[in-house]
Amino acid sequence: MARFLYNLVFTLAIPFILIRMWLRGGANPGYRQRWSERFALYNFSGKPNGLLIHSVSVGETLAAEPLVRSLQAANPDLTLTITTTTPTGSDQVKRIYADDLAAGRVVHVYLPYDLPWLTASFLKKIQPSLCIIMETELWPNIIRSCNKQQILVILANARLSERSAKGYAKFPKLTQPMLQGLDLIAAQHRNDGQRFIDLGIDEHKVDVTGSIKFDISVPEQSLAQGQALKKQWGEERPVLVLASSHEGEDDLILNSYQELLVDFPNLLLVIVPRHPERFDEVAALVLDRELHLVRRSESFDKGNLQVNPMTQVYLADTMGEMLLLLASADLAIIGGSFIEHGGHNPLEACALSKAVIMGPSDYNFAAIAQQLINQGAMQQTSAEQLTICIRQLLERPEMRIEMGAAGKQVVADNQGAVARLTELVCESLHR
């Protein structure tokens, strides 16, 4: 009955989902494109018996890259089908795997809506041997369809916050069969693994592999380009980067920035919104405050727009350049943490030896955040205390250096999850 009601509600919601996508398409045209894929209507060009990897959106897609590369090296003849649900996630797949897509080693489509006839049709087209779901993107029907077609399902880099676990526990008749349909859960942390076990998962299905987000490889090109940006902006200028900001956080940091200008008149603020449909909105917020703004996209459109000493805010209205922009920073603030969103990944900044500030909402990265705080690599603060926290770190460059070194060490000490996950996937493929 629970599954029937879920399917009924989802089916009735489809028209409203499509209307919402069309409205969002005004800011991001990707939401108005490729709707047929969301209904499993497309021709699959890959080989059967490959791997299906669902990476949801931007964060999961970026985090999954080391695993995908490792799996490609271990299984060079397999087709890897990578699915997302958002246009921004799709754009990242196209960017990261451009050569593989052209050569047919990787196929990319949207995951269809989670209705049984759509998921069944989707899997029959692809015929994967194994489905890897990244982190927590669990849908009842895709897992059930995999079970029916005898496709193994691995939840990789799995995390389950206390909040999410309570949510699953409220609907046991729907969530229990879904969770039982997983063949393996590769958990980021023992706390994540224990929460799955507490929900009724057989402990033999749970393996604590660590987080693949620690397995970061910083390209030399990103470092070099970041240093070049820093030089262009003025090597003596302190650079504050707000990474992956959400609505409400840009206003917060702009308030702090205007207070900080009294003591740091040459401070450059770099804002990197999480979603491209917010680029114009953030630009308007900056201009409403009569701050001098430069948009990164203008440097491409107009040839070579230079940041000058008068520039106060640099809006990164491009995609796929987070490492480059973080490489230019003296101090990084992690977005999604000053609203109830659970925060975004702080490890990219740590891998670049940057001092990091995060807000109080960190449930998406709770174990990682606590580890960074314990090792002196990150400071956590409230919205009310943010300006004070930034000021203290801007005044103490030696402290920023110490925090950056500690963060880089935490990243190095926790690498290895990709190798373990690759081993588990290969073992499952050759059962």
- Catalytic annotation, residues: 60
Q: What is the 3-state secondary structure (H, E, C) of 358-423?
A: ECCCCHHHHHHHHHHHHCCCEEECCCCCHHHHHHHHHHCHHHHHHHHHHHHHHHHHCCCHHHHHHH
C-alpha span between 56 and 86 (Å, rounded):
7
At a CB cut-off of 8 Å and minimum separation 6, what does 294 contact? 305, 307, 311, 313, 314, 315
Across 264-318, where does the E strand assignment appear? 268-273, 293-295, 313-315
DSSP 37: G
C-alpha span between 301 and 319 (Å, rounded):
15
At a CB cut-off of 8 Å and minimum separation 6, what does 305 contact? 294, 298, 299
At a CB cut-off of 8 Å and minimum separation 6, what does 264 contact? 238, 394
Short-list 366, 314, 308, CA closest to 337: 366
Assess contact for 38 and 113: CB atoms under 8 A: yes
Which helix H or strand E contains 184, and what residues bound it? strand 184-187
Question: What count of Cα atoms within 13 Å lies in the side-chain half-sphere of residue 34?
Answer: 21
Pairing of the two strands 80-84 and 106-110: parallel
Burial class (CB in 10 A: 0-12, 13-18, 19+), 352: buried
C-alpha span between 406 and 377 (Å, rounded):
5
The angle formed by the CA atoms of residues 215, 219 and 225, to the nearest 5 degrees, is 140
Secondary structure (3-state) at 316: coil
Burial class (CB in 10 A: 0-12, 13-18, 19+), 116: middle
